[in-house]
Chains A and B, each alone.
Chain A
């Protein structure tokens, strides 16, 4: 069996982290997991310690990208073959995990993304956000030739090759679409797997309406620059 690590970035998730981790350990006792507590200011850390969870406490808040990268570094240092990232807010249904991981185990893909837009079921996000996601997805296709419909999904499974790549180089804030560009230019075979996502039951989305314009500009630029810098290197 391949060594699998589930990375759970958590920033102020005191309301959901117990549910997420307990659910995970009950369903998948043979997978390791790692909570990356991103310098939470609430009780996330003490909840993790009380339950003796496997947790890395980032001493300073670094944002989702820095937290996820910590997980990849940990996975690399401890020689994991497969890394999974799921959100700490309970949005991602782990019952798809086995099938997503098996796609990697069978060597059919290097990266599997849990996508809510393939079957169009469950929580679909607001219309304006879907437009934004479609645009980024289209941009990704133009830049790399790879179409990822749910390009902002933080529900991902990657193999050892990309554990190493992401451990060395992972975008800082709003990282998901940019990480896909990195994966595509490294020749990663990216597959989407249909999942149903829940509406978040606690905590806040990292992207508020006020920030969405900044988000779109920054991510668009970041993706283009990623693509260009790889083009130059080749």
Chain B
């Protein structure tokens, strides 16, 4: 089992982790939508610190050799998921930017033509 001192340290670390996220949210440097996954991760961390048996059960259920390996797998899976989410966000934004550029450029043509027509009238 995890020694009490370590648990206290970890809890403090997670506390700062949440403060960090809140700070970003407060200053509008993160959008809540994209922060949910980080908040969820923090929640899982708190759970694991409070009930370390959960990890042991998880490891046993999936037949993983040691607790540490189980933890690594969890972390790794989380990171991969996060990266995929990020790629998907980037792709969606890419699509939006593409439409923006096209519409903006078509508008620019219209304005240019309207302006030159106006100049022609004067």
Which residues of A pack against B, CB within 8 Å? 54-60, 62, 66, 69-70, 73-74, 77, 172
Do A70 and B102 touch across chains, with their CB atoms under 8 A apart?
A: yes
Of residues 100 to 122 in B, which have CB atoms within 8 Å of A's CB atoms? Answer: 101-106, 108-109
In angstroms, Cα B105 to Cα A74, docked, is: 10
- Enumerate chain B residues within 8 angstroms of A55, measured Cβ to Cβ: 109
Do A56 and B101 touch across chains, with their CB atoms under 8 A apart?
A: no
Chain A residue with Cβ nearest B116: A52
Do A59 and B101 touch across chains, with their CB atoms under 8 A apart?
A: yes
- Enumerate chain A residues within 8 angstroms of B23, measured Cβ to Cβ: none
Given contacts A58-B101, A60-B101, A62-B98, contact A70 B108 (CB under 8 A): no
Interface of chain B: mostly helix, strand, loop or mixed: helix
Instruction: For residue B120, give the distance in angstroms from its CB to the closest CB of chain A.
Output: 12
Of residues 37 to 92 in B, which have CB atoms within 8 Å of A's CB atoms? Answer: none
In angstroms, Cα B95 to Cα A172, docked, is: 9
Which residues of B pack against A, CB within 8 Å? 98, 101-106, 108-109
In angstroms, Cα B102 to Cα A73, docked, is: 8
- Enumerate chain B residues within 8 angstroms of A60, measured Cβ to Cβ: 101
Do B106 and A73 touch across chains, with their CB atoms under 8 A apart?
A: yes
Do B103 and A56 touch across chains, with their CB atoms under 8 A apart?
A: no
Do A58 and B109 touch across chains, with their CB atoms under 8 A apart?
A: no
Do B106 and A57 touch across chains, with their CB atoms under 8 A apart?
A: no
Do A59 and B105 touch across chains, with their CB atoms under 8 A apart?
A: yes
Given contacts A62-B98, A66-B98, A172-B98, contact A73 B103 (CB under 8 A): yes
Given contacts A62-B98, A172-B98, contact A70 B106 (CB under 8 A): yes
- Enumerate chain B residues within 8 angstroms of A77, measured Cβ to Cβ: 106
Nearest 4 A/B pairs, CB to CB: A70-B102, A58-B105, A56-B109, A56-B105
Do A59 and B108 touch across chains, with their CB atoms under 8 A apart?
A: yes
Do B104 and A59 touch across chains, with their CB atoms under 8 A apart?
A: yes
Instruction: For residue B46, give the distance in angstroms from its CB to the closest CB of chain A.
Output: 39
Instruction: For residue A88, give the distance in angstroms from its CB to the closest CB of chain B.
Output: 16
